[in-house]
Amino acid sequence: MLCTLLTIVLSWRFIQADRIWVDTFRGMTNDLVERMVGHRTRLAQENPALWHVNEDRELDGYMHLSERVDRSAMFLAAIPRAWMVVGLMGVGVAFVTPNVSVTGLAISLGGILLAQQSLASIVSGVESIAAVLRAWDQVAPLFNAAARREEKPSLVFAAPNSAERNSNHQPLITTKEISFRYRRQGRFVLERCSLTIQPGERLLLEGPSGGGKSTFAAVIAGLRNPEEGLLLLRGYDRQSIGVDVWRRRIAVAPQFHENHVFTASFLFNLLMGRRWPPTKQDIESAEEICHELGLGDLIQRMPSGLEQMVGESGWQLSHGERSRLYIARALLQNADLMIFDESFAALDPENLERALRCVLERAPALMVIAHP
């Protein structure tokens, strides 16, 4: 009984120490990558004498955790051996005791050996359990995200064809007295805002920084829920048609600092809002839009063309090239309304003219957010 209790306690301590050790290792890896990506900022802003202070502190803590894990593993592995020693000592006492049954000694010795093998299996199983828990810590967010309840559409919303879009006089977007705030007790960022967007319209939304332009765009795109007011897409609210359909109908290119180039192929970054793997038509559309945006020279310079790896560990794109990539990504979603949040601010006059011409020709309805 005492041996079983000791095994449970030491197993628990080992599993906890192992999880903390692995979490620390992953955190150090993430910190290392961040420092590598931001090395220019460190060179410019951080005192050279302090460059490795945090790294040394983290390594020292990691070494202490490693010693703790090794010590827990050593104690856990010693349980079967300790049991064998204690058992043999008990059998040894029986040898010097008179009138001891040979059959009883054989049974006791066999029981000690079987218990030792069982304890060894338990110790090996504890190490496997620790490995499973480490893996679960990594994949649990994916399972939890998949288990979240989503808004289900209460009706089937069929995609209208081009003729229906042109003949239907229903407004594309209707917002009536929309109000929104980030905290329930905070001030309203949007208060009683109303807007109607008709199919084919081109809107320019201007205002000072912090005026709520991006928030208004996020509410229209279904990325944030309004606290008050009415929001309709072709006469239907979001609960009626579902979140997925709503976001397919409205594409938004966020501000530069909120958009990302993923470490993947240039083509994947273009079509990630459309479908993957792509069809031949998808690739042709991507190439066509890239040439219209002036990215044809970039594609020719890259050794693998559209299949070139880009991102932090791949081909480095300039500020303007990234901006045009984000524009192309939004256009390739074929949405009914396209919202560009300061997407043209980083472009030079020549590329700005190209981008505007491409967007105006391809966007069924358009909203551009810019500073005055």
Q: What is the pLDDT of residues 278-300, one digit of tens each?
A: 899 999 999 999 999 999 999 99
| Band of residue 167 on the pLDDT scale cut at 50, 70, 90 | very low
Which residue(s) pair with 341 in the sheet? 369
Give 28-65 as a DSSP string: HHHHHHHHHHTHHHHHHHS-GGGTTHHHHHHHHHHHHH
Closest CA to 150 of 250, 214, 222: 222
Flag whether 328 is in a domain: yes
Domain count, the chain: 2
pLDDT surpasses 90 at 366:
yes
Flag whether 88 is in a domain: yes
Report yes or no: 15 and 126 within 8 Å, Cβ to Cβ. Answer: yes
Flag whether 22 is in a domain: yes
Which residue(s) pair with 206 in the sheet? 370
Percent of the chain with pLDDT over 70: 85
For strand 202-206 and strand 366-370, is the pairing parallel, antiparallel, or unpaired?
parallel
**Are residues 124 and 212 both part of a single domain?**
no
**Are residues 207 and 132 both part of a single domain?**
no
**Are residues 79 and 207 both part of a single domain?**
no
Flag whether 281 is in a domain: yes
Residue 88 or 348, more confident? 348
**Are residues 209 and 127 both part of a single domain?**
no
| Band of residue 332 on the pLDDT scale cut at 50, 70, 90 | very high
| CATH code of the domain covering residue 359 | 3.40.50.300
**Are residues 212 and 349 both part of a single domain?**
yes
Tally the residues of the chain.
372
Burial class of 4 by CB neighbour count within 10 A (0 to 12, 13 to 18, 19+): exposed
Identify the pLDDT of residue 16: 84
Mean pLDDT, residues 241-269: 87
Mean pLDDT, residues 157-176: 63
Domain final residue pick, 127, 145, 163? 145
Flag whether 195 is in a domain: no
| Band of residue 161 on the pLDDT scale cut at 50, 70, 90 | very low
Helix ranges (H only) for 206-295 are 213-220, 238-241, 243-249, 266-271, 280-292
**Are residues 251 and 139 both part of a single domain?**
no
For strand 366-370 and strand 190-197, is the pairing parallel, antiparallel, or unpaired?
unpaired
What is the identity of the amino acid at 158? A
Identify the pLDDT of residue 317: 86
Element (H, E) at 368: strand 366-370
Identify the pLDDT of residue 196: 92
What is the identity of the amino acid at 319? H
Mean of per-residue pLDDT scores for the chain: 82
**Are residues 92 and 210 both part of a single domain?**
no
Identify the pLDDT of residue 197: 92
Rounded Cα–Cα distance for residues 308 and 306 (Å): 5
**Are residues 132 and 220 both part of a single domain?**
no
Report yes or no: 346 and 286 within 8 Å, Cβ to Cβ. Answer: no
Domain final residue pick, 145, 161, 190? 145
Which residue(s) pair with 233 in the sheet? 173, 236
| Band of residue 53 on the pLDDT scale cut at 50, 70, 90 | confident
pLDDT surpasses 70 at 164:
no
Flag whether 186 is in a domain: no
pLDDT surpasses 60 at 157:
no
| Band of residue 159 on the pLDDT scale cut at 50, 70, 90 | very low
Where in the sequence is the domain holding 8, given as residue range(s)?
A: 2-145
The helix/strand count (H/E) of the chain reads as 13, 9
**Are residues 261 and 350 both part of a single domain?**
yes
Domain final residue pick, 110, 145, 180? 145
**Are residues 357 and 209 both part of a single domain?**
yes
**Are residues 209 and 349 both part of a single domain?**
yes
14-42 in b/e burial notation, b at 16+ Cβ within 10 A? Answer: bbebbeebbebeeeeeeeeeeeeeeeeee
Give 259-277 as a DSSP string: ----SEEHHHHHHTTT-SS
Flag whether 172 is in a domain: no
**Are residues 139 and 209 both part of a single domain?**
no
Flag whether 86 is in a domain: yes
Rounded Cα–Cα distance for residues 348 and 368 (Å): 17
Which residue(s) pair with 232 in the sheet? 174
